[in-house]
Amino acid sequence: MANNDSQMVITCLYCHKQYRVDRAKLQSTVRKAHCKACGATFPLPLEDESASRQPEARSEATPAGKRTPRRLAISLNKVGMGKTSTAVTLAAGLAAAGFKVLLVDADPHGQAAPYLGVKPPGGLAEAINGTVPPDKAMVQARENLWLLAGGKALAGLECFAAGRATQSVQIVDRTLAPLEKEFAYVLVDTSPEWDPLTVSVLFYVRELLIPVSMEVMSVQGFGEFLQLVDPIDKLVDGRRLKYILPTFYDPRVKKAVDIHEKFVHVYGDLVCAPIYYSGQLKEYTAGGKTVFDLGTDSKCLQDYEALVKKVVNDT
């Protein structure tokens, strides 16, 4: 978005109003901006090697003053791909960068809460079936980070019972609509099942992050998943595949390197820098901590910091 060396355009992350700013007048200590249109305070784009390439304006422009968060699902209908670890760590990283984030766990396994080390009494199921108001169903898990937890109750929801699938596609949208305007990001972690709840999530989000381990079986699952998602993409205005995240990457494994190269060849910029296999990450999630809580420098912190930067700077 830079027009020349000194001019830059800053886009409000909530209402998408754009401001032209003289970069030279912006003090290096300034980290946040205040939007006069909608009143939101939001962090300025994070610096990285591509900082001179400011983010483009959003394609899904909304009228200034109307807050809409970025809605992003972390999804692939395969277990053990690093979906929940990525949803939790990306949410924690965005929150640590100053964004207000709602993490929604749409998986009956409900792993997001233990990965964050919290024990909410209810969550998305209660918000959907109306037994708890949505704003009471979420819990604050960290500074700037709220969780609408998953869990077994999601598996038995009446509204997703057989025969009701056609009415159920709007349910996630209707449940989250009263909550989302307070947030800059809504991240939704999905289950590995292709079921009405996952479909409803995919109708709600406008962006998709697909974590995929660099193994032959995972790649097959990835291809099948794209075929399932494609008809929804055609129905949902403005959504497009945005991020493919290689996970459990090990550069010592030739097959993994080959698959990664093919992904980059076929999908280009959609492929994020890989998340390397990390025993530390496994330990952190098992202990209810994220790499952003501990602050100690590590490869997995660097990997997820790079993902946070990519997501933030790519509007």
Ligand X SMILES: Nc1ncnc2c1ncn2[C@@H]1O[C@H](COP(=O)(O)OP(=O)(O)O)[C@@H](O)[C@H]1O
**Minimum CB distance to ligand X, residue 147 (Å):** 15
> What are the residue ranges of helices labelled H in 186-215?
196-204
Question: Is residue 198 within the footprint of ligand X (CB under 6 A)?
Answer: no
Number of residues in contact with ligand X, rule: CB under 6 A? 17
The answer to whether the CB of 64 falls within 8 A of the CB of 37 is yes
CA distance 228 to 232: 8
Instruction: Give the pairing of strands 240-247 and 207-213.
Output: parallel
Q: Encode burial over 111-127: b for 16+ CB neighbours within 10 A, e otherwise.
A: bbbbbbebebebbbbbb
Site for ligand X in 273-292 (CB under 6 A): 275, 277-278, 281-282, 285
21/257 with CB nearer ligand X: 257
**Minimum CB distance to Mg ion, residue 141 (Å):** 16
Q: Which two tokens stand for residue 119?
A: 């024990």
In the bound state, the residue with its beta carbon closest to Mg ion is 84
Site for ligand X in 221-260 (CB under 6 A): 247-248
Q: How far is CA 13 from CA 36, 96, 120, 214, 241, in A?
A: 12, 16, 29, 33, 20
**Minimum CB distance to Mg ion, residue 234 (Å):** 27
- What does the angle CA 214 – CA 218 – CA 219 come to, to the nearest 5 degrees? 75
Question: Is residue 81 within the footprint of ligand X (CB under 6 A)?
Answer: yes
282 binds, among Mg ion, ligand X, none (CB under 5 to 8 A by kind): ligand X
Question: Is residue 77 within the footprint of ligand X (CB under 6 A)?
Answer: no
Query: What is the enclosing helix (H) or strand (E) of 259?
Result: helix 254-267
**Region of 28-36, 78-86, 195-203, 216-224 interacting with ligand X (CB under 6 A):** 78-86
99/248 with CB nearer ligand X: 248
Residues contributing to the site for Mg ion (CB under 5 A): 83-84
User: Which one among 45, 69, 82, 108 touches ligand X, defined by CB under 6 A?
Assistant: 82
18 bridge partner residues: 11
State the amino acid at position 275 in one-letter form: I
**Minimum CB distance to Mg ion, residue 224 (Å):** 18
Question: Is residue 111 within the footprint of ligand X (CB under 6 A)?
Answer: yes
Applying CB under 6 A, the residues found at the interface with ligand X are: 79-85, 111, 192, 247-248, 275, 277-278, 281-282, 285
